[in-house]
Amino acid sequence: MQTHVLFEHPLNEKMRTWLRIEFLLQQLTARLPLADHADALHFFRNTGELLDIFERGDTRTELLKELERQQRKLKAWAEVPGVDQGRIDAIRQQLKETSTMLMAAPRIGQLLREDRLIGLVRQRLSIPGGCCSFDLPTLHVWLHLPQAQRDEQVNIWLASLTPLNHTLSLILDLIRNSAPFRKQTSLNGFYQDNGEDADLLRLHLDLGSQLFPQISGHKSRFAIRFLPLDSENGIVPERLDFELACC
């Protein structure tokens, strides 16, 4: 049975940021419940990285702009003959409700930024081994509290990210589903095309080829070079079939 690997590559800065936020949000829930030091440090490290991203730009404003852009795209789609009007209306209503929820929500990451324990751990994460029990006695004690008490605290932290999580999931789902996968062929490991104002490239590649794509470009033009996992002995076929979606 063939196994395909999905690669996604952002074609602009906002998409790059959103994919990183999505990745970190997934990591936050990957090792719950927080039962020991390893689980806790995984959680706090990803929380710290999320806060770093939030501090670099106005995530909420960018997401609200994108919700408006998706509304405009759906308005244009609604005028296409034969389109499923009910589906269009349902998504437009969903976008409207999400926009209202995001505008009403507190500043993204504010609760996490003000939390004393998160702040203490975040300060020590850049120091090699800096989260030992003698460095962070507060965390050491917290990890000895009843599991239910820790779970309650983690749920409060995660709930503060719900408006972000919900909005981002909706936007990325719409973008990912905006274009179908089409079969393409690279010649001597190289493929290029016009991006047609795309935000995201999605690529299905057969795992058996043991190749990976190195993608460069932006929304108007992009290039893909296929490279072998084994850089010394791997072979790139003269013709390589793969599936590509420009979303």
pLDDT at res. 1: 61
Going by C-alpha positions, the residue among 243, 191, 190 that lies closest to residue 4 is 243
pLDDT at res. 173: 96
pLDDT at res. 220: 81
Q: What is the DSSP letter of 32?
A: -
Q: What is the mean pLDDT of each run of 10 residues along the chain (247 residues)?
A: 88 95 97 95 97 93 95 82 82 94 94 97 93 94 97 97 97 94 95 90 93 88 94 89 95
pTM of the model: 0.93
Q: Is 148 helix (H, G, I), strand (E, B) or coil?
A: helix
Contacts of 32 (CB under 8 A, 6+ apart): 39, 43, 151, 154
pLDDT at res. 116: 97
Contact predicate 222/193, CB 8 Å: yes
- Tokens representing residue 86 in the block: 């009910």
Going by C-alpha positions, the residue among 202, 228, 206 that lies closest to residue 215 is 202
CB count in 10 Å sphere of residue 153? 15
Q: What CA–CA distance (Å, rounded) separates 64 from 167?
A: 9
